[in-house]
């Protein structure tokens, strides 16, 4: 697992598939997403390597129920007492009470998804017994007030987190950065593409300087403008590739390598 500083209060934790983010307030730590099954020990080691105590992990906010985002949530919550939070539409899946609906793939997504599944650890992740349910507009007590933004489409209960006092947006898988050229794109493997596009546009309208994605390099300069330019490329017929039609920068400004 790679640990990358975005700025002193924020670090990216990069796994073989997907990534999580660690936010450091003066008296507590917040994890946005929890990686894959078995990632609890590497996450705790990363926290220690940054000079923090995993016992200070107060909350784990899940952007959605997919196992590359909630895989270690139960392990970390059980070991360190962290609260697990998810949107109320995804929380029953996170708890294991109901199966999560599978994505509706575009044709070009099928081979990509098949390859991504090979990178996941075998077996089912443990399920947290308690999950605090969130709704659009809730404000969480970290980062000067983190507002929950419902961003359905990838899953029914996908959320983003907007920290206006720091200009930071965690998009989950509603938005991504292309592994090919770093261009900002609509997240893939969605349940409902039209709702996903609408959510992308909603997130792009927020004032942000830094955008942190569930997959791909964050944008650390002018993120709002970059997202708005990318979102404008969507609409009409479904694209036939993960990069929408229209001009795109080879790499968005300020991406973290």
Q: What percent of the chain has pLDDT over 70?
A: 89
Q: Taking CA 250 as the corner, what is the angle to CA 244 and CA 222, rounded to the nearest 5 degrees?
A: 90
As a whole-number percent, the residues of the chain with pLDDT over 90 amount to: 78
pLDDT digits (tens, 9 = 90+) for 3-32: 999 999 999 999 988 899 999 999 899 999
Segment 200-240, tens digit of pLDDT? 999 999 999 999 999 999 999 999 999 999 999 996 433 33
pLDDT tens digits, one per residue of 29-86: 999 999 999 999 999 999 999 999 999 999 999 999 999 999 999 999 999 999 999 9
Confidence grade of residue 111 (pLDDT, cut at 50, 70, 90) = confident
Q: pTM for the full model? A: 0.88
Which segment of 103-107, 123-127, 175-179, 192-196 scores lowest on mean pLDDT?
103-107
Confidence at residue 117, expressed as pLDDT on a 0 to 100 scale: 66
Question: 3-state SS of the chain?
Answer: CEEEEEECCEEEEECCCCEEEEEECCCCEEEECCCCCCCHHHHHHHHHHCCCCHHHEEEEECCCCCHHHHCCHHHHHHHHCCEEEEECCCHHHHCCCCCCCCCCCCCCHHHHHHHHHHCCCCCCCCCCCCCEEECCCCEECCCCCEEEEECCCCCCCCEEEEECCCCEEEEECCEEECCCCCCEEECCCCCCHHHHHHHHHHHHCCCCCEEEECCCCCECCCHHHHHHHHHCCCCCCCCCCCCCCCCCCCCCCCECC
pLDDT value, residue 244? 37
What is the CATH number assigned to the segment(s) 2-231? 3.60.15.10
The answer, yes or no, to whether residue 252 has pLDDT greater than 50, is no
């Amino acid at each position: 697992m790679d640990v990358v500083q975005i700025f002193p209060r924020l670090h990216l934790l990069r796994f073989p598939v997907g990534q999580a983010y660690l936010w450091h307030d003066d008296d507590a730590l917040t994890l946005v997403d929890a990686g894959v099954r078995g990632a609890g020990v590497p996450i705790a080691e990363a926290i220690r390597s940054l000079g923090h105590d995993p016992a200070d992990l107060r909350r784990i906010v899940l952007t959605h129920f997919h196992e590359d985002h909630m895989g270690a949530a139960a392990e970390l919550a059980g070991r360190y007492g962290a609260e697990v939070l998810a949107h109320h539409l995804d929380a029953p899946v996170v708890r294991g009470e109901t199966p999560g609906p599978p994505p509706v793939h575009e044709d070009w997504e099928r081979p990509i998804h098949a390859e991504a599944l090979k990178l996941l650890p075998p077996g089912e992740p443990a399920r947290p017994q308690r999950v605090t349910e969130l709704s659009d507009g809730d404000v969480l007590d970290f980062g000067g007030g983190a507002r929950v933004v419902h961003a359905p489409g990838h899953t029914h209960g996908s959320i983003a987190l907007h920290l206006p006092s720091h200009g930071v947006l965690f998009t989950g898988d509603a938005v991504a950065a292309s592994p090919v050229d770093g261009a900002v794109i609509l997240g893939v493997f969605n349940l409902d593409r039209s709702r996903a596009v609408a959510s992308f546009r909603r997130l792009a309208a927020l004032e942000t300087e830094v955008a942190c994605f569930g997959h791909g390099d964050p944008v650390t300069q002018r993120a709002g403008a970059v997202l708005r330019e990318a979102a404008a490329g969507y609409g009409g017929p479904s694209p036939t590739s993960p990069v929408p039609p229209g001009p795109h920068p080879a790499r968005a400004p300020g991406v973290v390598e």
